[in-house]
Structure 1
Amino acid sequence: MSQPAYLTGHTYDPDRAQAFLERAAAILDAGAVAVMLSIGHRTGLLATLSRLPPSTSMEIAQAAGLSERYVREWLAVLVTGGIITYDAQHGTYLLPAEHAACLVPDAPLGNLAVYAQHVALMGQVQDQIVERFRTGEGMRYEDYPCFHHVMAEDSGQTVVAQLFGQILPLAPGLVARLERGITVLDAGCGRGEALMALARRYPESRFTGYDLCADAIEDARRAARKAGLHNLRFEARDLTHFDEQERYDLITSFDAIHDQRSPADLVRRLYRALGPGGIYLVQDIGGSAHLENNLNFPNATLLYAISCVHCTPVSLGQGGDGLGTMWGWETAGAMLNDAGFAEVQRHVLPHDPMNVWFVCRKP
């Protein structure tokens, strides 16, 4: 019997093939669990379970204010997926504290269920992405349902929660300047969570947030009004032709540069917008520009997938470079140096191994 066409010219090891089949099947299970974690996060089921003793599906549904039949099916996924334990004798479910430690809001290890939403989001835009594979065209930010909501939750964990204890101290003297009063720009501010936290803490300083997406800016304005913050403003603005000269003492960009149409050009423009002695504080994905260096990088597979489905398409949709999520800390550092910054320091923080932080000073 002749070999199948896909085996022609290849050595076939049945044991290795069987092992990979099992791995592929596990990948499918893991994908299903990721989507259910997203649902559990958005419905509050994970948070509810973390507060309950061993409980029946009806008790869990009632505590969460949800339909028992859907809750029961969701529980079955997470039991078979190894997330929740099940006592068949009593018909009760439990989210172990060790599992809740990385799956619920304010968890000590961070809330990974926030990132599970990216997996669910990929499914929602799959048809459009398949078409882009054929045409090479890009996407718009508004093509992604709830994207800014997910990014705001991400920012809440990696930026806002650590802003005053770990992030601002990376730039010696910056806190004192903020207390005295300086002008600050957040370039690519999204819903403005970080900027609002700064505005609350430093009432003598003045804050501006720019973002391309009008819906995110409207959310930011609404939240700022509700908080009674009068020392900041938000504006929907395409930064492609940003041209403000020596206006700011501090500029920040939190996970925003690699999505831009031309990151290198924007970094140069932001450099010009800083006054003498100004500081540019940048957070971006901390992977390498070289695939072989990312084989053990935290969540590299997820980050490359997000790049394929979101970051690369939205850059291409602006007519941009399409550098993608994993554009690399080497690329970012070179751009910052080329822009003219006299000093560029790179940091990786213990709470956030996925990102890199640059502190850049203008002469």
Structure 2
Amino acid sequence: MNVIDTPSLDLERAEAFADRVGGMFDAGAAATMISIGHRLGLFDGMAGAAPATSTEIAASTGLAERYVREWLAAMTTAGILRYEPETRRFHLPPEHAACLTREAALGNLAVYAQHVSLLGRMEERTLHCLKTGEGTGYGDYPCFHQIMAEDSGQTVTAGLFEHILPLVAGLEARLEAGIDVLDAGCGRGLALMAMARRYPKSRFTGYDLCADAIAHAAETARAQGLSNITFETRDLTGYCEPGRWDFVTSFDAVHDQKDPEGLISGLCRSLRPGGSYLMQDIGGSAHLENNLDFPFATLLYAVSLVHCTPVSIGQGGAGLGTMWGWETAEAMLRGAGFKTVERHVLAHDPMNVWFVSRV
């Protein structure tokens, strides 16, 4: 019997790694607390305010003081809040508020902390999927559309007119004159409604598989008095309406589909001559080794395991996942029959890729 020598344990390296793993647990707990602080408006209430006691903070936010006190302690030990022991007051420094509030100068990173909480809430279902190979449905995920709407508000709607639509040459003039626009996989339709407000002569339609998201979008559009926009619950599997649209968008929606390649091909055929398709998706590579330094790579792969992959499989799809890769997306666009395909990465948003494809 051959015996393979086991190399001796490098105790120093092992202990350093154990410390790193312990830090991950602390960071995960902090992320969940950030999600709670965001959802309850605690960061917003503390931003710009003078240092305050737990009693004062609870009173100003309408929350229970005993629980607020524990949350404040967690955020203090995480280094997010500052604490004055002499007065027992807590403070959110402006440099920290700059990425943790709804008016954040650097964008509200607290929005993404909600994904961490959602991962935990979906653990049992994910265990089941790993054991059985089954998929999930959008209805399995609590608050999913609310989280994605907040995300879209930052990554899409906020920069829509300054950074995103200008990627399509000549589009603004066409929208002002009046064209037909589709958002395929529109969710709650924030970007589409922003365009409908700005370009009243154009006609806008949003399709999405999820009836609750469509109902929310339609209600919001009615409340805003938008008469040039419609929303429809629609499964886009096998979708094609030849020559129906002048401009089509998809914002972080294609990789979740049952058949992304078929959808892209159908959207290409649904454009009129001279039409354009603007597609946003996660800008990671299809190759793991290229993503080791990609922003939020671990979170994105985790979201892929818990949401994007099983949602696709649940529809009978291949489960390409969140990190299907810009290379895969570009190949599908070129194979769909578009005359030109351009890939863009915006300087302020290294996490996403934007494709402009023309027929």
Normalised by the size of structure 2, how large is the TM-score?
Answer: 0.98
Report the AA paired with residue 271 of structure 1: C
Match of 2:202 among 177, 201, 205: 205
Whether 1:117 and 2:114 are equivalent positions in the alignment is yes
Question: Matches of 2:16 and 2:242 in 1, distance apart?
Answer: 60
Q: 1:321: Cα distance to partner?
A: 1.2
State the alpha-carbon separation in 2 of the partners of residues 44 and 297 from structure 1.
30
Number of the residue aligned with 1:337: 334
- AA partner of residue 179 (structure 2): I
Residue-by-residue CA offset, 1:92-148 (whole Å, 9 max, x unaligned): 111111111111112111001000000001111110110110000100000000000
Would you say the 8 A contact 1:158–1:351 is kept in 2? Answer: no
Aligned-pair Cα RMSD in Å:
1.0
Out of 128, 132, 148, the residue aligned to residue 151 of structure 1 is 148
Q: Structure 1: which 5+ runs fail to align?
A: 1-6
CA drift of 1:23 comes to: 0.6
In 2: Cα distance, 1:272 partner to 1:345 partner: 18
For the residue of structure 2 that corresponds to 1:241, the secondary structure is: coil
Q: Which residue of 2 aligns with 1:3?
A: none
Q: Is the 8 A contact 1:253 1:281 kept in 2?
A: yes
Matches of 2:108 and 2:7 in 1, distance apart?
A: 44
1:84 counterpart = 2:81: yes
Matched, 1:312 2:312: no
Distance in 2 of aligned mates of 1:97 and 1:106: 12
Q: Does the C-alpha gap of structure 1 residues 10 and 188 become closer, same or farther in structure 2, counting only changes over 3 Å? A: farther
Q: Unpaired segments of 5 or more residues in structure 2?
A: none
Q: Which amino acid aligns with 2:135?
A: G
The verdict on how the C-alpha distance between 1:56 and 1:238 changes in structure 2, with shifts beyond 3 A counting, is same
Instruction: Report SS of the residue matched to 2:104.
Output: coil
SS in 2 for 1:239: coil
Corresponding letter in the other structure for 1:77: A
- Determine the C-alpha separation between the residues in 1 that align with 2:240 and 2:88: 64
State whether residues 51 and 90 of structure 2, in contact with CA within 8 Å, keep that contact through their aligned partners in structure 1: yes
Query: Residue type matched to 1:132 in 2?
Result: C
Any idea what SS the aligned residue of 1:17 has? Answer: helix
Give the aligned partner of residue 271 of structure 1. Answer: 268
1:75 aligns with 2:72: yes
- Report the counterpart of residue 187 of structure 1 in structure 2: 184
Match for residue 26 of structure 1 among 23, 26, 29: 23
The equivalent residue for 1:56 is 53
Deviation digits for residues 222-246 of structure 1, max 9, x if unmatched?
Answer: 0011001111100000000212101
Counterpart check, 1:97 vs 2:94: yes
Deviation at 1:49, TM superposition (A): 1.0
Residue 175 (str. 1) matches residue 166 (str. 2): no
Instruction: Return the alpha-carbon distance in structure 2 between the equivalents of residues 108 and 356 of structure 1.
Output: 22
Once the two structures are TM-superposed, the CA of residue 214 in structure 1 deviates from its matched residue by: 0.3
Q: Which residue does 1:15 correspond to in 2? A: 12
Q: Distance in 2 between matches of 1:50 and 1:252?
A: 36
Report the more deviating stretch, 12-21 or 26-35.
Answer: 12-21
Q: Which moved more, 1:251-260 or 1:11-20?
A: 11-20
Deviations 1:61-88 (A, max 9, x none): 1111111111100000010111111110
CA displacement 1:300-326 (0-9 Å, x = unmatched): 011001001000000000010100000
**Runs of 4+ that moved beyond 2 A:** 7-11
Matched position secondary structure for 1:313: helix
What is the percentage of aligned positions where both structures have the same residue? 63
TM-score (normalizing by structure 1) = 0.97
Instruction: Using the TM superposition, give the Cα deviation of residue 11 of structure 1 relative to its aligned residue in structure 2, in angstroms.
Output: 3.6
Secondary structure in 2 aligned to 1:279? Answer: strand
CA contact (8 A) 1:187 1:253 kept: yes
Match of 1:4 in 2: none
Task: Write the distance in 2 (CA, Å) between the matches of 1:325 and 1:351.
Answer: 21
CA distance in structure 2 between the partners assigned to 1:351 and 1:234 by the alignment: 31
Alpha-carbon separation, structure 2, partners of 1:9 and 1:187: 55
Q: Which residue of 44, 49, 54 corresponds with 1:47?
A: 44
| 2: CA distance, partners of 1:213 / 1:305 | 22
Structure 1 residues 254, 8: closer, same or farther in 2, change over 3 A? farther
Report the equivalent of 1:299: 296
Q: How far off is 1:10 after superposition?
A: 4.5
Aligned residues, how many? 356
